[in-house]
Each structure stands twice: as structure tokens, then as C-alpha cells.
Amino acid sequence: MAVKTGKNLNDLMKQTFEDCTGEAWTETAWYSTDHRKFIERAFFGSDVNLTSTSRIVTEDDPNQGPGIRAVGFTTQALAELEVYLKDLEADPELKKELNKLEPMFQIDLIRNTIIKYILDLRVRCRNVIQTQLDNNYTEYLNYLETTYTPWASEAGWELLFPQGISTAIKKIKNKIAEIKSSVVSGVKTAYDVTLKLQELSGNAITSTTFAFLYKGARDVLGPLPVLLGPCPLKHVNEIEVARSGKKLKFRATGSVFLASQEGGDQSDAIRIEGVLYKSEFGLMFLLWFLFLYGQSKFREIDSLSLIEFETGTNILSEIRKMNDLLMTDSSLEKPSYEFHQTFPFVNRHFIIPNCYIETISIENKLPVKDVLYYSILLRTYTKPKQIVRYVVDEKQGTTLYGFKKKTVSAELCELSLNAGWRWLNASGWLIDKNEWKIGSANKQGALDTYYDIDWASLGTMTYLSLMGEVG
């Protein structure tokens, strides 16, 4: 039903505001933000104040009371509206806007806008009604929902979307994209979603996966001290995990030592020593594969996405604040960085998701020849995803690069996951707390004293940790 006459409009109003009170309509009219400019000029910016209760025809409601149901505009209001619409058509500014559109839509545009406005009011009124009448109105709303589609079509759906339903769908898609971008900026593809998730939760997903794998491997192989990527290590003599704000180095293991050791700041260093029995010699190849997997490669800086800062931000300052690697590029070579593929290290006390093998030493020596002794030295490596670039001197080609740090939420996710993992193990749900009991502290004469940590200390530390982050 296209709106052509005042009667049509009133009929539409009656349909739209069937159970809506005049007051609610007037009140909600003020909430409208869509097409605000147009609406203000159409209704509020003139003498034709259609939202005034004096211009609304009401009738008695048997349930609510006298004069409470709005059924339409008064004749005077409609006359004023018609005059105003004519004026509106002559409005030079509006005409300017309308001229940008195809001529056939011009007059319809005004009508459509009014209808859209009315529909908009209807939705808003429904919200008010729903609040006012609470659950009693749910049934009626459901009825409206089921009858809405044919009604809307009859009421001029095509006019609202003059270019057809496909345009409407496009608009809806755009709206969804707009909401998405406001929540998660820059998300376009599945890869973007993965990156965004990693940014928010770090390596929590990988860690969780490998926690389950560890559990599965234990079910198959029995007590298992370490799962290194896909490689289960059963006979482990020593596990050492060190974490520091500075660079860590390994001491010599056996007859081999590292000539020069690197590794970034604020990274972990892990050392595992153990034996492989004859039946496990095959694992040696798996370890070599892991070594090759994590071996250092070089990648071009350009392969990373560049972080765009707002105009006026001092990017040099942003780079200075980073704890991670800084680089300068003043050569003709393309700037690159060292890269490692990583895999998780899982044991009872730690899930460290991003490790690579720096060194493996395997020895076969007397007195037991069919036993291999191994030392695996692991380091952690955080893969850079984004980069900040600051051109110091364009003529000389001097550029500074800084890798973006992990977000606080990512660090907290990983921290929480580790905490959860430890709670799980402490409870004995996953790992029997009496495993490896021989020679344990429960043996008399070994060690014992008060050693208490409770929720209060945990809570205090969590609080301090967060304060330290924002401090």
C-alpha cells in the first residue's frame, strides 16, 4: 500500500500504533536518531509538530483507560503535513540532495522516509510497550512478528527499498560489517579472525589443544613427564625451566657447549635431560624433525602487517616503548628478521606454547651402550604479527622497526590457562598426585615445613600483577 492520501497515512498509522499510547509515541519520537536531520526539518523544525499529543487522535482503551490509544493524526495535522510536504519539496537544500538521486525516486523518497520513520517509531514504541507491559505483551509481539512480513510488504516495503530486496540484503550485510568492525576492527577473512583471536587470547587455543593431547598420550603411554610437540618423552631425568627479563644462556651439557648463544629478552629457556631406551630410538628422528621444524629462517619485514597509528602519534615513541626487537635498516638489502616455527612444551607444571629446539645433544656411551642420553635445549619465540615502522631519514633509507608486543589480554589468557592447568593437576584430576612418589617429600626425613598459599595471597598477587601491567 503506497501512501498517497491522508487516509492512507492514517490507516497506516492506525495499523502501526494499534496499541501504542500517545504519550509513548511522543516520548519515543525524541529518541530517533536515524535521518535525524531530515526528520527534524520535516516534523520538529516547523510549526507542524506531529508529535504533539494535541495532533494525535486517540480513543478509549477498555483495559488501559480513556483516551489512551493512538489511532492517527487529526485532520488539521494532516492538512498541515500536506502543506509542509509541499514546502519540503520546494526546499532548495533538500532538492539539491534529491537531485543526486534518480528523478523517479524523489517524491517517493519523501514518502519512504516518512514511512520508514513511522516504522522506526513502531519498533521503538514496541520497546516502550514491552517495558511497560512486561511479559503480558510477549504474546502480542509474537503475533506482530508473524504478521509483520506481509504487512510490511503491503505497507510499501518496495518503496522502502526501491532497488529491490537484494539492496536490502546488501544494506543488512553492510550494517553487520559495520557492527563487526566497531567490535573487531580490521576483520575481513578467516585468517584475520585467527589473527584477531591470537591477539586477544595469545596461544591459548594451541595450549588447550596440546593439553588434551598430553592427556591422550598419558592414557596410551602411562605416566608421561613431557610432551614436546607431538613427541612424548617418557624417561626424563631432569627438567629445568627458567624465565627472565634478561637473556638466558645454557651451561654445557656433556661434551658439547654452545659457542654463542642468543635468544630474546623476556623469553624462557628450557632444558630437558633424559634417556631413550632401545625401543624408543625412533623418537630420535622425531626430535630431529622437530629441530628442523623450528630451525631459524629469515623472513622479510614487509611480510608483516604494518600498524597504522593515528595522525599526530609519535611513532618513534611507540617503538621506544617496546621491549622487543628493534632494527634499523640503512642498507640496500630488504630488512628481514629471524623466524622460528614453534611447538608446545607440556608437562605437569607448565604449558609453554611457543618453543623451538635450539640444540640437541645425543650421546651413546658406556656402560650401557643401548641407551641414548639426550639433552634438549629449548627456547621460546614469539612470532611477530605486526610491525611498527618509523622512517628516520628517508634520503638515507634509515628506518626503525619494532615488533608489537603481546596484548595484556593475550598474556592474561595464557597466564590463566597455565593457572587452570596447574589447578587441574593439583587436584589430581588429570595426573595422580602420587606419581613419581619415590623419594618425594612425603618420605620421612626429607623436607617439610609450613608452606601455605591460599586464596588471599593468590588474590593479592593477581591484583598486583594487573596493577603492574597498567602501572
| Residue numbers 324-363 binding another protein by CB under 8 A | 326, 347, 349-350
Shortest Cβ 464–another protein spacing (Å): 5
- 278 CB-near residues (< 8 Å, 6+ apart): 370, 371
Among 323, 330, 364, 409, binds another protein (CB under 8 A): 323
| Residue numbers 392-451 binding another protein by CB under 8 A | 392, 400, 411, 415, 418-419, 422-423, 425-428, 433, 435-451
What phi and psi values does residue 33 have, to the nearest 5 degrees?
Answer: -120, -25
Q: Which amino acid is at 182?
A: S
By the 8 A CB rule, do 162 and 107 touch?
no
For another protein, the closer of residues 93 and 454 by Cβ is: 454
CA dist 233 and 282 (Å) reads 12
Q: Check residue 242 and give left, alpha or beta (phi > 0: left; psi -120 to 50: alpha).
A: beta
For another protein, the closer of residues 56 and 372 by Cβ is: 372
| Residue numbers 109-168 binding another protein by CB under 8 A | none
For another protein, the closer of residues 195 and 248 by Cβ is: 248
E strand or H helix that includes residue 352: strand 351-364
Looking only at the bridges linking them, the beta strands covering 297-300 and 386-393 are unpaired
For another protein, the closer of residues 70 and 388 by Cβ is: 388
Among 175, 320, 334, 365, binds another protein (CB under 8 A): 320
The three cell numbers locating residue 137: 505483551
The answer to whether residue 172 forms part of the interface with another protein (CB under 8 A) is: no
CA dist 95 and 91 (Å) reads 6
Shortest Cβ 170–another protein spacing (Å): 38
What phi and psi values does residue 381 have, to the nearest 5 degrees?
Answer: -145, 125
For another protein, the closer of residues 239 and 283 by Cβ is: 239
Among 83, 165, 221, 464, binds another protein (CB under 8 A): 464
Shortest Cβ 83–another protein spacing (Å): 49
- Cell numbers 520546494 label which residue? 90
For another protein, the closer of residues 219 and 452 by Cβ is: 452
For another protein, the closer of residues 149 and 440 by Cβ is: 440
Shortest Cβ 402–another protein spacing (Å): 9
| Residue numbers 262-301 binding another protein by CB under 8 A | 263, 266, 269, 271
Q: Check residue 445 and give left, alpha or beta (phi > 0: left; psi -120 to 50: alpha).
A: left
CA dist 48 and 42 (Å) reads 8
Shortest Cβ 354–another protein spacing (Å): 16
Rg of the chain in Å (alpha carbons) = 35
Distance of CA 225 to the CA centre of its chain: 34
The answer to whether residue 188 forms part of the interface with another protein (CB under 8 A) is: no
Q: Binding string to another protein for residues 235 to 264, with x set by CB under 8 A, is what? A: -xxxxxxxxxxxxxxxx-x-------x-x-
